Amino acid sequence: MAIFRIRKKVNYVVLDKGFLNDTRLSWKAKGLLAYMLSLPDDWSFCISDLATHSKCSRESTANTVKELTKAGYIHKMQGRTNNGKFRKVELFVFETPQVEPYSDNPISDKPLMDNPLTVNPQTEKPSLLINNKSLNNNLLNNNNNYRSYPLGENLPKPQTAFQFYEDNGFGSLAAHVTFNIGHWIDDLSEDLVIHAMKRAVENNVLRWNYVEKILRDWTNKKLKTIEEVEADKLRFEAQKRQQQRTHQSDLQVRKEVVPEWFHQRHENVEQTIDFEAERQKILETLRGVTESAR
């Protein structure tokens, strides 16, 4: 057996091959991790987007991400804005497994201390798939958002997507529904998942598959915030109103071009045709033809 290699000039990446020998990982997980590490440092990951680059389904890709998370190669972090809303779940990718994540519980009941989080909280320096400058800025911004609350005051705790599901008549949380809700939260955000369920409540369709249909539509349209979703809704409603006005205008035009005589055609036939007189004319003509023949 032999390995045939090419001479690398462009389109290659340098990786620490330690994770390739990690027996805890499946071959699928190793392949996905290698692909993620090959992307630029400031890449923003989305499970639906990752699924489009292989023949694996979205659910299969999400399970692989979960496997890498359990092994310490991916850490998830979700903060909140200063008004208490959930941010999108961020995925931090490591070339070597990290036992301690950035924060097991990034949303605390107590405000953060004045000391900002360090750029490299680990003892070793892992190869992150995000640059240190952007990471430090994000952490500092989150820290400032938390400090905007008065000392001693707890952060507001908005309703979670799981609570909203149960409190608004969708039914009990089955295992597969809980699983899918978690994946959509990772893929979009908890606020968007709740917003989709609110749409379902407004339309009186309390089924999870209907909520997923809404979420898939937003994903296909690349809508990532509630503001973008609402703007898209306004555009759709404006387009629908325009179509209705155009349809009504077409109906009016069709009514105007119908001539008046068309509505009176039956009356004109009765007034202009005397069938008895026409009959007498035909009989007289036949008699004339008969006499001339004699």
For residue 98, the surrounding DSSP H or E stretch is none
* Distances, alpha carbon 205 to alpha carbons 118, 168, 196, 198, 210, in Å: 47, 11, 11, 10, 7
* Range with top average pLDDT, 5-9, 127-131, 201-205: 201-205
Ramachandran region, residue 136 (left: φ > 0; alpha: ψ -120 to 50; beta: rest): alpha
pTM here is 0.42
d(CA 194, CA 171): 15
User: Residues 90-120, buried b or exposed e (16+ Cβ, 10 A)?
Assistant: bbbbbbebbeebbbeebbeeebbeeeebeee
Roughly how many angstroms between the first and final C-alpha of the chain, as a whole number? 120
Q: How confident is the model at residue 147 (pLDDT cuts 50, 70, 90)?
A: very low
Paired with 92 in beta bridges are 75
Contact 80, 51 (CB under 8 A): no
Domains of the chain, each with CATH number or no CATH: 17-147 (1.10.10), 161-224 (1.10.10.630)
Q: Around 290, how many Cα atoms within 13 Å sit in the side-chain half-sphere?
A: 6
CA distance 175 to 173: 6
Of the pLDDT bands very low, low, confident and very high (cuts 50, 70, 90), residue 282 is: confident
Average pLDDT, stretch 231-251?
A: 83
For 275, 277, 280, the CA distances from 289, given in Å and listed in that order, are: 21, 19, 14
Please state, rounded to an integer, the average pLDDT across all residues of the chain: 75
* Count helices and strands in the chain by DSSP H and E runs: 12, 2
Looking at residue 290, its pLDDT comes to 77
DSSP for 135-191 reads: HHHHHHHHHHHHHTSPTTPPPP-PPPHHHHHHHTTS-S--HHHHHHHHHHHHHS-HH
Does the pLDDT at position 173 exceed 60? yes
Which residue carries 């892992």 as its tokens?
126
DSSP string, 38-63: TS-TTPPP-HHHHHTTSSS-HHHHHH
Q: Does 285 score more than 80 pLDDT?
A: yes
Please tell me the predicted confidence (pLDDT) of residue 100. 62
How far apart CA 199 and CA 193 sit, in angstroms, is 10
Q: Which residues contact 247 (CB under 8 A, 6 or more apart)?
A: none
pLDDT in tens, 113-142: 444 444 444 444 444 444 444 444 444 444
Q: Which residues contact 268 (CB under 8 A, 6 or more apart)?
A: 261
Under 8 Å between Cβ of 255 and 224: no
